[in-house]
Amino acid sequence: MGETIACANQKGGVGKTTTVVNVGAYLALAGDRVLVIDLDPQGNATSGLGVDRLTLERSVYEAVMDLTPLDTLVRSSPVPGLDLIPAAIALAGAEVELAAVDQRERRLGRLIGPLADRYDYVLIDTPPSLGLLTINALVAATGVIVPVQCEYLSLRGLVQLENTLAMIRENLNPHVGIQGILPTMFDRRLLHSREAVEILKENFGDLVLNTRIRKTVRYAEAPVKGQSIMKYDPSGEAADMYRDLAKEVLDGAKAAFSAGGKESGDGAVDARDLLVEVRQRTRQLGGEQAGERALAGPILAEDALDNA
Ligand SMILES: Nc1ncnc2c1ncn2[C@@H]1O[C@H](COP(=O)(O)OP(=O)(O)OP(=O)(O)O)[C@@H](O)[C@H]1O
Ligand SMILES: [Mg+2]
């Protein structure tokens, strides 16, 4: 039975889709059977894999809303060995429509079961929210990869994601945990970037992957051509970084899963420490003014923390 890995972070633009497309392409080119499910109404994984969203008749919308079996929605992609269940614009309505249906958090998970033997990896791309589409992905997943932009303020959202995962473990999927936190948009010349990774490591330990995805414009260029980085620039360092990540995820998969039970109990505490530390560092970094500005925003993570 294959792994089902969701790529999630409710913060937008942190590299979720880039990660799904490029890890998926690498694994498929290395000989694994890979299915990418695009659960984001923006459809960036669909277009990034070279599939025209506007010509789609059916998409993952039919699965989550009508419980259409996934094998009837699967299509091939230009990457050999990589299949896709695309997102179409209709999916934008699903977030609201799902609220009114039965088993609204479990619909994708129920449908993935029958497909699991056909693929070595099912990778799910999620939208930048913790709404019902993302929750469906987390309930269906065996592990979660969390791309995190290397900035202090990006770290704060991890608190809320961790709380959501704790809720899902308690009520919907006892086995799901963070398989790896992936530092993205890393710029080693910046102290800020290096410190953000240090804070992550202090709070999440081995869950922080060793691979750093550095900033490079190649990642933005490839999807414009509807290509993965493995095709667009296979010998460049941008492709190397995702190759490293894919290998690390494969190697680390078993270890992370065996540690899953422990992590589930401690997650909320880690998250609380993280928030305190991010507060302190933000103050140190920019003095009182930057600290106060950072704390004045509508920080959902703090609401979640207060309710924890
Ligand atoms: N390491 C990187 N360096 C530079 N640009 C990057 C990097 N990773 C991704 N990008 C670019 O940044 C933008 C956001 O990346 P991506 O779409 O993968 O993020 P996302 O988390 O899926 O966003 P969303 O939350 O909107 O779905 C894209 O234009 C992408 O090409
Ligand atoms: Mg995306």
Question: Which region among 140-149, 190-199, 217-226, 249-258 has the lowest average model confidence (pLDDT)?
Answer: 249-258
Residue 155's pLDDT is what? 79
What confidence tens digit (pLDDT) does each residue in 214-238 have? 999 999 999 999 999 999 999 999 9
Question: Which region among 136-140, 240-244, 274-278, 300-304 has the lowest average model confidence (pLDDT)?
Answer: 300-304
Question: Which region among 80-94, 110-124, 227-241, 291-305 has the lowest average model confidence (pLDDT)?
Answer: 291-305
What confidence tens digit (pLDDT) does each residue in 9-58 have? 999 999 999 999 999 999 999 999 999 999 999 999 999 999 998 888 89
Residue 44: both structure tokens together: 């960036």
What confidence tens digit (pLDDT) does each residue in 146-173 have? 999 998 877 788 988 999 999 999 999 9
Just give the CATH number of 3-307: 3.40.50.300
Q: Where are the domains of the chain?
A: 3-307
Which residue, by CA, sits nearest to atom 3 of ligand 1? 215
Q: Which strands make up the sheet holding 82-85, listed edge to edge?
A: 75-76, 82-85, 34-38, 121-125, 3-7, 143-149, 178-184
CA distance 290 to 85: 43
Atom of ligand 1 nearest to the CA of 20: 18
Query: Which amino acid would we find at residue 16?
Result: K
Reported confidence tier of residue 287, pLDDT bands at 50, 70, 90: very low
Reported confidence tier of residue 255, pLDDT bands at 50, 70, 90: very low
- Cβ pair 251, 271 in contact under 8 A: no
Q: How far is the CA of 66 from the centre of ligand 1 (A)?
A: 31
Residue 157's pLDDT is what? 85
Atom of ligand 1 nearest to the CA of 221: 31
Reported confidence tier of residue 245, pLDDT bands at 50, 70, 90: very high
- Write out residues with Cβ below 6 Å of ligand 1: 12-18, 40, 42, 44, 128, 184-185, 213, 215-216, 219-220, 223
Name the residue of 11, 18, 133, 185 to mutate for ligand 1: max ligand atoms within 8 A of Cβ: 18
Residue 286's pLDDT is what? 44
- Cβ pair 140, 134 in contact under 8 A: no
CA distance 108 to 50: 24
State the pTM of this model.
Answer: 0.86
CA distance 107 to 232: 35
Helix axes 237-258, 260-296, angle to 10 degrees: 120
* Alpha carbon distances (Å) from 260 to 7, 157, 266: 17, 21, 10
Reported confidence tier of residue 249, pLDDT bands at 50, 70, 90: confident
What confidence tens digit (pLDDT) does each residue in 86-117 have? 999 999 999 999 999 999 999 999 999 889 88
pLDDT tops 50 at residue 254: no
* Alpha carbon distances (Å) from 210 to 24, 245, 288: 19, 8, 33
Reported confidence tier of residue 84, pLDDT bands at 50, 70, 90: very high
